[in-house]
Amino acid sequence: MENSFEDLIASYIENKVGIAEYFLSPELANHLKQNLLDLNEKSLLQAAGIGNSEKLSYDGAIRSDSIYWLDKKHNNVFENEFFDKIDAFVLYLNESCYTGITGYEFHYSLYEKGDFYLKHLDQFKNNPSRKYSMISYLNSNWQEADGGELMIHQENNNQKISPTQGKTVFFKSNELVHEVLVTQNTRMSITGWLKSD
């Protein structure tokens, strides 16, 4: 477990973008993917908005994915396993990097063919509590032709990251402009933020 934590932190320190190829085990990723598909089958996902609760809007020309917020109150065994992993990572991050993270929030994210999310920052202008962004991907057998890459924009170094199953990406929420390129296949992830209130 600590190896994937170190992969995230070391690559973040080197490039401002942490990547761990196997942060989620294949078994856990498959179970979480099935949860997401079941929720979608029951029409429980909602159109993703832009902004926070104080300033929320919906614009399909900017963002077209659907989401479902994870909550420990749901008492889903696999989501709780995911939360246990995040709890362990936060503890490791706080102890090794003194980040002062006190909480987090995560949601499932589903992009259907043709969906995208234009360039944006993850930290709200009216609320700086989001410190780090984390995305864990749930897409087995993802091919380059499927598109849907995470494009991170840095000066002289744009980085295109394929959303392959088990991979987790980690970066500062107020620092890096990023986007999700148009996907040609169903694209699934758990997306969230480590927070300091």
118 within 8 A of 62, measured Cβ to Cβ: yes
In this predicted model, what pLDDT tens digit does every residue of 151-189 receive, in sequence order? 999 888 889 999 999 999 999 999 899 999 999 999 999
What domains are there in the chain, each with its CATH number? 1-49+62-195 (2.60.120.620)
CA distance 89 to 84: 9
- For the whole model, what pTM was predicted? 0.92
The 10 Å CB-count burial string (b at 16+, else e) for 91-107 is ebbeeeeeeebeebebb
In this predicted model, what pLDDT tens digit does every residue of 65-115 receive, in sequence order? 999 999 999 999 999 999 999 999 999 999 999 999 999 999 999 999 999
